[in-house]
Amino acid sequence: MELPDIYRLLKEKGVRPSRQRVLLYLELARREDHPTAESLFRDLKLEIPTLSKTTIYNTMKLFSEKKLVQIIQVDGRESRFAISKEGQGYFYCRDCQKIYDLDLENLPQAAGLPKGAQLEDVQVVFKGRCGAC
């Protein structure tokens, strides 16, 4: 994803595209490791000297409300972040703490939702031990 695309996406979702917001979204779009606020802070603090962890949490909360980002709760200690994708689920390995993306596009139909139900949000996180552990 390129910077002009991110500016346009944020505007379409009603988010003012500040430099910090654009660079945070760009960093998430580049990564597949479902980063924490700490790792985002560590990786962006040189590029954005005014960045704080509070800014990251507030931005991720705003992005989540606008359906741009999913906040993944895998344990009681920290949140992880991922770009929102339709039908996305996750598998969290309790040993290595890696998060794997899962394609759950057909899950709402398979779950037998009541006829006419309007699904607004779903987050599925399976937890266990990955094959490498």
Residue/partner pairs of 130-133 with CB below 8 Å, 24 or more apart: 130/91, 130/93, 130/95, 130/96, 130/98, 130/100, 132/93, 132/96, 133/93, 133/95, 133/96
The two structure tokens encoding residue 95: 């040993």
Q: Answer whether residue 110 shows pLDDT above 70.
A: no
DSSP letter (8 states) at residue 132: T
**Tally of residues, the chain:** 133
Q: What is the pLDDT of residue 52?
A: 95
Share of the chain above pLDDT 90, in %: 65
pLDDT in tens, 83-106: 988 778 899 998 998 999 888 876
Q: What is the pLDDT of residue 115?
A: 80
pTM: 0.83
pLDDT in tens, 61-91: 999 999 999 999 887 778 999 998 877 889 9
Q: Answer whether residue 128 shows pLDDT above 60.
A: yes
Distance between CA atoms of 34 and 98, rounded to whole angstroms?
8
